Structure 1
Amino acid sequence: MSSIDGGGVAGQVEARLTAIADAVAGLCDADLTGLADAELTDTMARLEKSLRQAAAVGHKLIVEAVERSLPGKLGHRSVNKLLVGVLRISAADASARVTAAKSLGTWHAISGESLPADLPETAAAQRDGDIGADHCRAVREVIRKIPYAVPASDVEAAEQILAELARAGTPEDVENAGHELLAHLNPDGNLADDRDRKRLRGIRFGRQDKDLMTPISGHLDPETRALLEPILAKWARPGMNNPDDPESPTGDAEHPNVDRDRLAAAAGRDTRTAAQRNHDAVKEALRTLLGSGVVGSHRGLPATAIITMTLDQLERATGVATTASGGILPIRDALKLAEQAHPVLVLFDHNGRPLHLGRTKRLATADQRLALIAAEGGCTGPGCAAPATLTATHHKRDYAKGGRTDIGDLTLACDCCHALVHDGPGGWKTRTAPEGTEYAGRTEWIPPPHIDPEQKPRINHRHHPKELLDRARRKAQARREADARRRHKQPKPPGGGPTGSDGSDAVP
C-alpha cells in the first residue's frame, strides 16, 4: 500500500491531471477538418492508446481505495458502491472495472510487498496501450474456463499467448482463438462438463408485457445451435419472410419456386435488423411446421449442417469442429449429430489446401463451395467476420478477364467485401498467395494506395484462430527469449550474486 507524502506526490498527480485536462480540452476545441485521412486515423489510434493506458491507472486507483478501506470510511458498503457514488457510473460499469482491477491490478500483501497480477502479461499489454478493456475481458474469460486440473505452468503460458495475440488482434480474435486453446488444454473437447451443459440447456419465456411481447432467454447446447444455424441462414435471409412487405417471398430462400428477382427487390427494401429477421424466420418456420402435419408423428425436421474438422480430429475424436455459420461444437457432439441428421462432413489436411475441382463454366459447383467452406471458413476479406453462409463464391481473377472456375482460383466473399473489388479508383485486388510464402494458397487482398501506399497483401485470419494462436506462440516465445537474454546481460549486484553451477548468472 502507498500513501501520499505531503505535497510532493500530490503535487505531481495534480500537475499530470491538469496536463491531461488541458490536452483533452485542446483536442475538443481542435479543428480536425484540416487533417489528412492518414493523420485522422493516426489520431484515432494514438488517442485510443492513451485511453487504454488510462484504464490501467484506474486499476491502480481501485487497488489503492480497497487497500485503504476507503469505501467503509466514506460510508459505502463496497468499492462498487464507492465508484457509483463518486463517478456517477452504472452499477454494471463499476462491477466491470472492479473485476478488471482484481485480475490486472498490482495488489499488496500485509507487509506491503507487491503481489503479481493474476494476468501479468495482459496487464502489461494494457499498460503499453496495446489492448483495451474488451481484450482484457476476452483473455480473462478464456483463462476462467481452463479446467483446474491443467498445470499452473500451462495456464501461465496460455495467458502469455493470449495476451500476445491481443496485442495484434481484436477481442473477437482472442475469443475465437480461446476455443482452440481450450481444446488443446482439454483434448477431450469438454469445454464445459457434460453435466453442466445439460443443466444449463433451456429456453425461458417471460411474461407478456403491456405490448403483448414475450421476452425469451436461455442456452442452446452445441448440437441444437448447429441444427438451427442452417435454417436461419436460409429463412432469415434479407428479403425473406418479411411480414411488413407483402411482396416478400416466404419459406426457404433456396426453394426452386422462389423468384430470384423478387427476392432481390425485397432484400433491397428490407430494413429489419438481424434479430428481427431471425424472429420472423422462426415464426414462419413454426407456421410451416404446424401446417405440414409433421407435428405428432416426428420429433423434428431434418437439417443439413456443414461441419468442418481435420482428419486428425476425426481419428482422435477430440477437439472442436466448426460449422458454416461460424458455430463451434465439440467433436463428439459433431459425430453424434452426424448419426441423427444428414450433415455434410468436410475433411482437409493440416495445410488446409482444397482439392482442385476445375470447371470451365462461370458458376462454381456445390462441391467447390463445400471445399471453400472447409478451407476458408468464411469471407476472406481482411478482418471480415462474415461466416460462410453469408458469402458468395468469388473469382480471384475476374471471370470476364480470363479467370478460371478452378477451386484454386475461387474464394469466398460477402456482399460488402465483394463490392470492394473493382478496377476503378479505390478498388481492391485479390490473388492467391504464392508458393513459398507463409500462407501459400490462401487469398490475399491487396488494398488501394490511399489505404496502404505500399499495397502490402492482407490475409484474413478471423476464421482461422489456430493461425493466430501459432503466431502468438512464436511471438511469446521470442519475447521470453529476449527477456532471458536481457537478464543474462545484467551486471551482477555489488558483492556478487547467485550463480549457476557453471558460474554463470542464474536465470529465475
Structure 2
Amino acid sequence: MAEQLSMLSASIDELLECDLTTLRDADVLEAMRRLEQSLRRADAVSHRLVVESVERSIPAALGYSSPNKLLVDVLRVSAGDASTRIAAARSLGVWHTLSGDSINPAMPETAAAQRDGTIGPSHARAVAKVMRKIPHAVDNDDVSHAESILAQLARTGTPEDVEQAGHRILAYLNPDGNLGDDRDRKRRRGISLSRQDSELMTRISGELDPTARALLDPILARWARPGMNNPDDPESPRGDSEDPTLDRAALAAAAARDTRSAAQRNHDAFSAIFRVLLETGVFGRHRGLPVTAIITMTLDQLEQAAGGLATTASGGLLPLEDALKLAEHAHPVLVLFDHSGRPLRLGRRRRLANADQRLALIAAEGGCTRPGCAAPASLCAVHHVTDWQRGGRTDIDNLTLACDACHAQVNDGSAGWNTTSTRPESEFPGRTEWIPPPQIDPTRTPRINHRHQPGELIEHARATDTRRRWLRPTERGAR
C-alpha cells in the first residue's frame, strides 16, 4: 500500500508540473474526464480505509467516541464532511463478519459503479437519499431492484437525474402516497412578513403548498427573466417578456448587463407583478400559451383519481388530488400518444408551432430535451429537429422543446450541436437525440435527455424483469 501511494503521489507531482498550454482543446477535456474517473475510484479506496479503521476499532483505541471525530482530526476535514464519508463507507463499503466473511455493500450496484469510476460521490448520495425514503414495508427484492435501477441511471446521468427518477420509483413503491398527507401540507403552509428593519427591508419566509407552487412557477418564468424589470437599469424593459410590443434588442442588451442574482430577479419580478395587478389585473400570454398551470396526467391516473403524482410544465410534481382540484374549472386538452409515449401526428405547413402543438410537446417532453438540461417546459421554445430552412416541416414528429440557451447551441459551427430523432426500432423511439461537437465527445455519440422522463428508464428496466409489479407500465393512451 505504501508503495502504491508513493507512486500515486509521484504521478500527481508530475501532473502538477505538466505544461497544459501545449494541449489541444480536445486533450484538455479528455484529461478532465480521465482525472474525474480516477478521483471517483479513489473515493472507493477511501471507503475501504474507513471500513478497515472501524473494524480494527482504531477510533476507540485512540480515544475517539466515533470514527467521525477521528477523521476530523486526522484529515482536518469538517464534521459534515466526516459524517458524509462515514455514511458513504457504510452504504458502499465491503464490511466483514466477526469470522472474517465479506458482507455485500448496502448498495451493491452503486458501489460497483463507483469502483468503475463511472459515478461520483454526489451520484451515490442521490441514490442513498432515495433509498432512505423507501418504506420498510416494501419487500427486499423490490428494494434491491430499485437500487439497481438508480445505479444504472447514475452511470449515464447526473445526480439530478437520479433524484428525479427516484420520485417516480417512490410513487410506484408506495402508490398510496408517502410524501406527506394533506393535513401536513395544510399545517405547514404559510408566508410570513417580518417587520421592517432599520433599512426598511422586510424579510419573507414560509412554505408554499403544491397548488400554490404550481400556480407561481409559470408566472416567474416570464417576469423574472434576465434583463426584465431591473430597477437598477433605467433601460430595462418593464412588464412581461412576451409582450408583443417589447423591443427584443433592448431585452437582449438589458440581459447582457444584468448582474442580479436569481433571488434578486425574483424579488424584482414580484414587485413588478404587484404593480401590474393593482393597475391592470392582466398577465397576458407566455410563449403562445396563457399563463396558467399546465398539468400532465395519464388516462389511468385520471380514472383512478387517487394516488400518484401529476407533473407541471415547470417540472414540478403535484399530488393527483390537487391536480384534479385545479382541473375542475380548467379547459381540458386531450392529447393522444402512441405506445412509445410519442404524440400522434399533428402537422402544420407554417414555420411556427401553434398552441395545440406546444401543449402536446409539454405533455410529451416535459422540458428541454438537450442532455443534462433541467429547464422545464415553461422556459422552452419549440425547436425543429430538422431545421425549417433545410426542409424540416412543422409536424409534431419534427418538433421538440429546447430552452433558449440550449437552442442557441444548435448550429453548423465547429462547436455546434445537432439534433435528430431516434428511429422507430430504437430503444427509445421518437425521442430527440442531441449530437455533441467533437470537443465534448470525440465519438459524437447521440445523447437523449431522460431528466424529464424518468419513467422511460423505469419501464426499460421493467422489460428486463417483468416480475416487478410496481414497474408495470401505466396506460399510455392519453395524457
Equivalent pair of 1:164/1:472 in contact (CA under 8 Å): no
Give the total of aligned pairs. 457
Residues 384 and 290 of structure 1, relative CA distance in 2, 3 Å threshold: same
In the TM superposition, residue 172 of structure 1 has moved relative to its aligned partner by 1.2
In the TM superposition, residue 195 of structure 1 has moved relative to its aligned partner by 4.3
Residues 321 and 435 of structure 1, relative CA distance in 2, 3 Å threshold: same
Q: Which residue of 2 aligns with 1:362?
A: 351
Match of 1:116 among 98, 104, 110: 104
Distance 1:82 1:131 in 2: 27
Q: Which residue of 1 aligns with 2:459?
A: 470
In the TM superposition, residue 248 of structure 1 has moved relative to its aligned partner by 2.1
- SS at the partner of 2:95? coil
Match of 2:410 among 408, 421, 436: 421
Residues 62 and 305 of structure 1, relative CA distance in 2, 3 Å threshold: same
Structure 1: gaps spanning 5 or more residues: 1-12, 295-301, 478-508
Amino acid at match of 2:219: I
In the TM superposition, residue 461 of structure 1 has moved relative to its aligned partner by 2.0
Equivalent pair of 2:237/2:246 in contact (CA under 8 Å): yes
Does residue 283 in structure 1 map to residue 271 in structure 2? Answer: yes
Q: Which residue of 2 aligns with 1:389?
A: 378
Task: Single out whichever of 139-148 and 456-465 deviates more from structure 2.
Answer: 456-465
In the TM superposition, residue 96 of structure 1 has moved relative to its aligned partner by 1.4
Match of 1:48 among 36, 41, 46: 36
Does residue 128 in structure 1 map to residue 116 in structure 2? Answer: yes
In the TM superposition, residue 236 of structure 1 has moved relative to its aligned partner by 0.9
Does residue 235 in structure 1 map to residue 223 in structure 2? Answer: yes
In the TM superposition, residue 226 of structure 1 has moved relative to its aligned partner by 0.9
In the TM superposition, residue 279 of structure 1 has moved relative to its aligned partner by 2.3
Q: Which residue of 2 aligns with 1:6?
A: none
The alignment's C-alpha RMSD in Å is: 3.1
Equivalent pair of 2:29/2:440 in contact (CA under 8 Å): no
Equivalent pair of 2:92/2:108 in contact (CA under 8 Å): yes
Q: Which residue of 2 aligns with 1:168?
A: 156
Q: Which residue of 1 aligns with 2:240?
A: 252
Distance 2:43 2:442 in 1: 33
Equivalent pair of 1:189/1:332 in contact (CA under 8 Å): no
Q: Which residue of 2 aligns with 1:331?
A: 320
Distance 2:103 2:20 in 1: 44
Residues 147 and 114 of structure 1, relative CA distance in 2, 3 Å threshold: same
Does residue 150 in structure 1 map to residue 138 in structure 2? Answer: yes
Amino acid at match of 2:400: T
- SS at the partner of 2:232? coil
- SS at the partner of 2:103? coil
Does residue 402 in structure 1 map to residue 385 in structure 2? Answer: no
Equivalent pair of 1:348/1:375 in contact (CA under 8 Å): no
Distance 1:411 1:191 in 2: 32
Q: Which residue of 2 aligns with 1:20?
A: 8
Match of 1:90 among 65, 78, 95: 78
Equivalent pair of 1:324/1:387 in contact (CA under 8 Å): yes
Distance 2:384 2:3 in 1: 59
In the TM superposition, residue 388 of structure 1 has moved relative to its aligned partner by 1.3
In the TM superposition, residue 454 of structure 1 has moved relative to its aligned partner by 5.2
- SS at the partner of 2:318? strand
Equivalent pair of 1:311/1:347 in contact (CA under 8 Å): no
In the TM superposition, residue 348 of structure 1 has moved relative to its aligned partner by 4.3
Give identity over the alignment, percent.
Answer: 64
Q: Which residue of 2 aligns with 1:498?
A: none
Equivalent pair of 2:48/2:94 in contact (CA under 8 Å): yes
Residues 467 and 259 of structure 1, relative CA distance in 2, 3 Å threshold: same
Q: Which residue of 2 aligns with 1:60?
A: 48
Equivalent pair of 1:242/1:280 in contact (CA under 8 Å): yes
Does residue 78 in structure 1 map to residue 95 in structure 2? Answer: no
Does residue 265 in structure 1 map to residue 253 in structure 2? Answer: yes
Residues 209 and 127 of structure 1, relative CA distance in 2, 3 Å threshold: farther
CA shift digits 1:421-457 (9 cap, x unpaired)? 2234443332333333333322233344555565443
Equivalent pair of 1:138/1:175 in contact (CA under 8 Å): yes
Task: Single out whichever of 179-188 and 431-440 deviates more from structure 2.
Answer: 431-440
Equivalent pair of 2:340/2:430 in contact (CA under 8 Å): no
In the TM superposition, residue 392 of structure 1 has moved relative to its aligned partner by 1.1
Residues 255 and 16 of structure 1, relative CA distance in 2, 3 Å threshold: same
Residues 133 and 455 of structure 1, relative CA distance in 2, 3 Å threshold: closer
Q: Which residue of 2 aligns with 1:430?
A: 419
Larger radius of gyration: 1
Greater length-normalized contact order (CA 8 Å, ≥ 6 residues apart): 2
Match of 1:444 among 430, 433, 443: 433
Amino acid at match of 1:358: G
In the TM superposition, residue 205 of structure 1 has moved relative to its aligned partner by 6.4
In the TM superposition, residue 33 of structure 1 has moved relative to its aligned partner by 2.9
CA shift digits 1:30-87 (9 cap, x unpaired)? 1233333443333222221221122122223323333444334434443222222221
Amino acid at match of 2:405: C
Equivalent pair of 1:304/1:344 in contact (CA under 8 Å): no
Task: Single out whichever of 416-425 and 150-159 deviates more from structure 2.
Answer: 416-425
Task: Give TM-score, length-normalised by structure 2.
Answer: 0.85
Q: Which residue of 2 aligns with 1:494?
A: none
Residues 474 and 57 of structure 1, relative CA distance in 2, 3 Å threshold: farther
Q: Which residue of 2 aligns with 1:103?
A: 91
- SS at the partner of 1:383? coil
Structure 2: gaps spanning 5 or more residues: 283-289, 467-479
Distance 1:90 1:211 in 2: 35
Distance 2:30 2:281 in 1: 61
Equivalent pair of 1:449/1:455 in contact (CA under 8 Å): yes
Equivalent pair of 2:158/2:372 in contact (CA under 8 Å): no
CA shift digits 1:125-169 (9 cap, x unpaired)? 222222111111111111111122211221111112211221222
- SS at the partner of 2:270? helix
Equivalent pair of 2:370/2:448 in contact (CA under 8 Å): yes
Task: Single out whichever of 197-206 and 149-158 deviates more from structure 2.
Answer: 197-206
Residues 390 and 61 of structure 1, relative CA distance in 2, 3 Å threshold: same
Residues 207 and 106 of structure 1, relative CA distance in 2, 3 Å threshold: farther
Equivalent pair of 1:348/1:374 in contact (CA under 8 Å): no
In the TM superposition, residue 287 of structure 1 has moved relative to its aligned partner by 4.5
Distance 2:93 2:446 in 1: 39
Distance 2:58 2:316 in 1: 45
Task: Give TM-score, length-normalised by structure 1.
Answer: 0.80
Residues 457 and 107 of structure 1, relative CA distance in 2, 3 Å threshold: closer
Distance 2:277 2:179 in 1: 33
Amino acid at match of 1:354: P
CA shift digits 1:277-310 (9 cap, x unpaired)? 122222333444566799xxxxxxx971011122
- SS at the partner of 1:458? coil
- SS at the partner of 1:420? coil
